[in-house]
């Protein structure tokens, strides 16, 4: 049995930089037509020059694969209309991180509802620039996403023409919220469709399953799975694949995030097959994102998707133990599908 996927997209990806970029960029470029690249480097991607230079490094690291990286910048309060008008032709969206909530986000967006932040949102709405938000507060770790709901509701109500992407949602409350407002959309990761907190710390600590937002309860996972399988056109795949070297994961101060890029398609096909929903997988992987971001398939143009057919077959595949110094999701396990 085989399935062909037309131009799969990853709507939320971390590629890092330097040597790590050289290792992980080809592992996405091989399987995906393009990806939305996160800007939380050190120093962060903030300016037009930052965007252009980082994109060049990604393309160089992608080994001539048919792959387009689409860029984002950090949301910061120094942004002006002039900045945004200049950036619009170079980026797909702007990424907002609450200060200190994730890797390399210290010092950013201390007050999402400040007068200056609201002014920037208004300009973005006018210029039709999409806003992506890592939506967590600094509260108790299991409540951080749930406690962000009132902020999302205010933004959705106050800026009805601003497209807002709720990144890597993990809770039932998030799944309910995204269908409530016309201008809210969401990405869902592979790992949040598979694991709960019990997989991370229910027996022995599994550092390679430790991620942020942290995996939640079984009922949250079920709500996400129901949404992903539901044919809802507001939901997209975003891997949030984020590599760290093994030494940074297997230590006393373990880094968060999970590396899924080279195995995401195999796991997603297995999951949708198990739930008798293979006919909906291409919507989750490609079609919904095309509509939300106003994309077209082709090999040229600002918002074009390189046409790439990825074929998978129902044949046993063993997840590699490591890629260079990076341990992938569920390494060493057998799954039912392989990329041809």
- The residues annotated with a catalytic role in the active site are 240
Name the nearest CA neighbour of 31 among 187, 256, 239, 230. Answer: 239
Name the nearest CA neighbour of 105 among 154, 52, 46, 17. Answer: 46
**Distant-in-sequence, close-in-space partners of 25: CB < 8 Å, separation ≥ 6:** 15, 58, 61, 62, 63
Classify residue 257 as exposed, middle or buried by CB count within 10 Å of its CB (0-12, 13-18, 19+): buried
The DSSP code sequence of 46-108 is -SHHHHHHHHHHHHHHTTT-S-EEEEEEE--TT--HHHHHHHTTT-SEEEE--TTSSTT-TTS
CA distance 234 to 236: 7
Q: Which residues pair with 188 in a beta bridge?
A: 237
CA distance 185 to 288: 10
| Percent of the chain as helix, strand, coil, to the nearest 5 | 35, 15, 45
The total of other beta-carbon atoms located within 10 Å of residue 321's CB is 10
Strands 130-133 and 235-237: unpaired
Classify residue 242 as exposed, middle or buried by CB count within 10 Å of its CB (0-12, 13-18, 19+): buried
């Amino acid at each position: 049995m085989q399935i062909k996927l037309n131009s799969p997209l990853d709507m939320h990806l971390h590629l890092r930089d330097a040597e790590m970029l050289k290792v992980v960029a080809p592992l996405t470029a091989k399987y995906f037509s393009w990806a939305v690249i996160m800007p939380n480097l050190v120093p962060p991607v903030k300016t037009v020059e930052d965007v252009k230079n980082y994109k060049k490094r990604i393309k160089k690291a992608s080994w001539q694969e048919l792959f387009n990286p689409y860029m984002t910048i950090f949301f910061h309060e120094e942004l002006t209309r002039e900045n945004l008008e200049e950036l619009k032709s170079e980026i797909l969206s702007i990424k907002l991180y609450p200060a200190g909530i994730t890797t390399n986000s210290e010092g950013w967006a201390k007050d999402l509802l400040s007068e200056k932040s609201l002014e920037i949102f208004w300009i973005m709405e006018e210029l039709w620039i999409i806003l992506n938000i890592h939506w967590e507060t600094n509260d108790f770790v299991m409540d951080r996403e749930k406690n962000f709901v009132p902020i999302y509701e205010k933004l959705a109500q106050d800026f009805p023409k601003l497209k807002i992407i709720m990144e890597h949602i993990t809770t039932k409350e998030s799944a309910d919220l995204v269908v409530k407002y016309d201008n809210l959309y969401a990405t869902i990761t592979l790992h949040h469709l598979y694991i709960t907190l019990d997989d991370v710390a229910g027996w022995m600590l599994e550092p390679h399953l430790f991620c942020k937002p942290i995996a939640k309860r079984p009922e949250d996972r079920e709500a996400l799975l129901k949404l992903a399988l539901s044919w809802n056109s507001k939901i997209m795949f975003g891997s949030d694949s984020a590599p760290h070297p093994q030494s940074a994961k297997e230590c006393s101060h373990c880094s968060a995030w999970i590396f899924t890029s080279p195995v995401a398609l195999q796991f997603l096909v297995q999951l949708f097959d198990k739930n008798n929903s293979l006919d909906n997988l291409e919507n989750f992987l490609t079609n919904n994102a095309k509509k939300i971001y106003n994309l077209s398939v082709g090999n040229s143009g600002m918002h074009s998707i390189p046409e790439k057919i990825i074929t998978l077959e129902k044949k046993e595949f063993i997840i590699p133990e490591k890629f260079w110094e990076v341990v992938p999701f569920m390494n060493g396990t057998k799954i039912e599908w392989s990329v041809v």
